[in-house]
Structure 1
Amino acid sequence: MNVEQSSTPPAEPVTAPVAKARRNNKGGALWLLPVAILGGLLAWQWYDTRQQMTELRQDVARRLADAAVVARNEAQAGQQLLERSTALAGRLDAIEATLAEGRDQEEALQALYQDVAKGREEAQLLEIEQAITLAAQQIQLAGNVPVALLALRSADAQLARLDKARHLPLRKALAADISHLNELPLADIPGISLRLEQIVSGVEKFPFIVHGRPVEEASAAVEPDDAPAPWWRLVLSDLWQETRTLIRIQRFDREEPALLAPGQGFFLRENLKLRLLSARLALFARDQWTFRNELSVARSWLERYFSTEDRAVQAAIEQLKELSAAEIIIELPDLRASQQALVGLREGRETR
């Protein structure tokens, strides 16, 4: 027992450190496991991070390579765009130069057109001025209202074709003058002239009064007789015929007609023609006194020297009476309004 008791106590000190060591080992093992797990986690994290960094580097390298390619392509595209822009700039410069040249040509053509239009308008205005001047001359010198009206209407028609607002005063003045001329009484100058011309052409056929002869009765027809007439009857017949030729019996119911020498008839007819032609000239000159005086002298000559029993002479005397009563002097306007409007239009064009 003692041996066992003596032997047992010494055994306790040996097992106690072992147990303590075992307990320490177990505690260290417990601490190593979290460390190992933490180390594994750290290793896995490092590996995963490295993989991600590798992949990131590869992705960045790939993207850089793609960016380099894109940059290179963009550089090429930019170069192409630069070349195209340079070419377009050259074309644009050429187009601008062409446009500038075209603009210059357009301005030159516009100036030429304005010159042509201005020249055409100047020519038309010159024609209008000539028409108004012609109308004024026809009224003042010849009193020819129809020709003056025709000239004024022609001028108004040309102004209507121009259709300019600055021509309205002139057109208004022309309309007023045309209205005044239309209101004038008509003197048939051409008709009177033609009637005088017909009388002049018939002067050669008018018979003189001093050349008249009594109408001889037709001798009775002698019945044919087979027997010859006695000689004394033939002598008496011849004597009777000679006696009849020596004696002329004529009756005048008016004063004694004027006598004319055999060669004066020609000069009388020519002087009568000159009187009628002078009356015609006075008609054209609107000389009322001279016109009536010449017609009066011509009518008196017809009544004195020509046979009034002739129908042609009677008709001529009646026409001369009618023509003497005709009024050939008409108070005509002077077209001053149209002329003043034309002067104003010309001055306005000169100031512009």
Structure 2
Amino acid sequence: MSEATPVENGSSKPNKPPVNLALIVAVVALGLTGWQYLDTRQQLNKAQQALAERLADAGGSTKALQNQAEQAQASTRELQAKLALVEARVNESAGQYATLSGMYQELTKDRSDWLLSEVEHTLASPASSCSWPATSAARYRRWKGCRCGCRTSTIPA
């Protein structure tokens, strides 16, 4: 007699416990929140991986740029050394040119002096078979036409 018999209220359906609507809404909300958490977590992981890849690419690009900068600096040092060598050679050549120019001027001066003295000696020589007029223009014409020993003398080079 301890068994409880369902009391029939005039229906043949068994008695079901009442459905708690608030509990169902809470479970569905908890499920949706869990699903959204997992989805957000996956998106964050993808974003972290993409960021890591970009950082790695940027790091590689930075390394490549550093290598190029080092190569440019090495090339600049080499070119500066070559430029210094060329400048030294140019300065040396300029010095040699100045020396040679001075030597040439001295040589031409000596040659002109020698030629002038040779002409003066020929003109002043008493043994000359030519007679020389008083004006310089006439002397020049006469000297060009004179066959005294002037043409056989040698001029040093």
Matching of residue 80 in structure 1 with residue 89 in structure 2: yes
**TM-fit CA distance, 1:57:** 0.8
Map 1:1-352 → 2, pairs under 5 A: 1-2=14-15, 4-6=16-18, 9-10=19-20, 12-109=21-118, 111-112=119-120, 115=123, 121-122=130-131
Task: Determine which structure has greater relative contact order: mean sequence separation of CA pairs < 8 Å that are 6+ residues apart, divided by chain length.
Answer: 1
Point out 4+ residue stretches in structure 1 off by more than 6 angstroms: none
CA deviations over 1:68-95 (Å, ceiling 9, x no partner): 1231232233223323332332223222
Q: Secondary structure in 1 aligned to 2:32?
A: helix
Q: Kindly provide the CA deviation profile for residues 146-194 of structure 1, in whole angstroms up to 9, marking residues without a partner as x.
A: xxxxxxxxxxxxxxxx59xxxxxxxxxxxxxxxxxxxxxxxxxxxxxxx
What's the CA shift for 1:121? 4.6
CA pair 28-81 structure 1, distance change in 2 beyond 3 A = same
Partner amino acid, structure 2, of 1:64 = Q
CA distance in 2 between partners of 1:123 and 1:83 (Å): 52
Report the secondary structure of 1:5's partner residue: coil
- TM-score between both structures, scaled by the size of structure 2: 0.56
- Relative distance call for 1:108 and 1:58 in structure 2 (3 A) is same
User: What is the CA-CA distance between 1:123 and the residue it aligns to?
Assistant: 6.4
Q: CA RMSD in A?
A: 3.3
C-alpha spacing 1:54/1:121, structure 2 compared with 1 (3 Å): same
Gaps of 5+ in 2: 1-13, 134-144, 147-157
What's the secondary structure of 1:122's corresponding residue? coil
- Count of aligned pairs: 119
Alignment correspondent of 1:149: none
CA apart distance, 1:67: 1.8
Match of 1:287 in 2: none
Say which SS state the counterpart of residue 17 (structure 2) adopts. helix
2: CA distance, partners of 1:15 / 1:102: 127
Q: Percent identity?
A: 9
Amino acid at match of 2:120: L
1:30 is aligned with what amino acid?
A: D
Unaligned runs of 5+ in 1: 125-161, 164-352
Question: Larger radius of gyration, structure 1 or 2?
Answer: 1
Following superposition, the deviation at residue 107 of structure 1 comes to 4.3
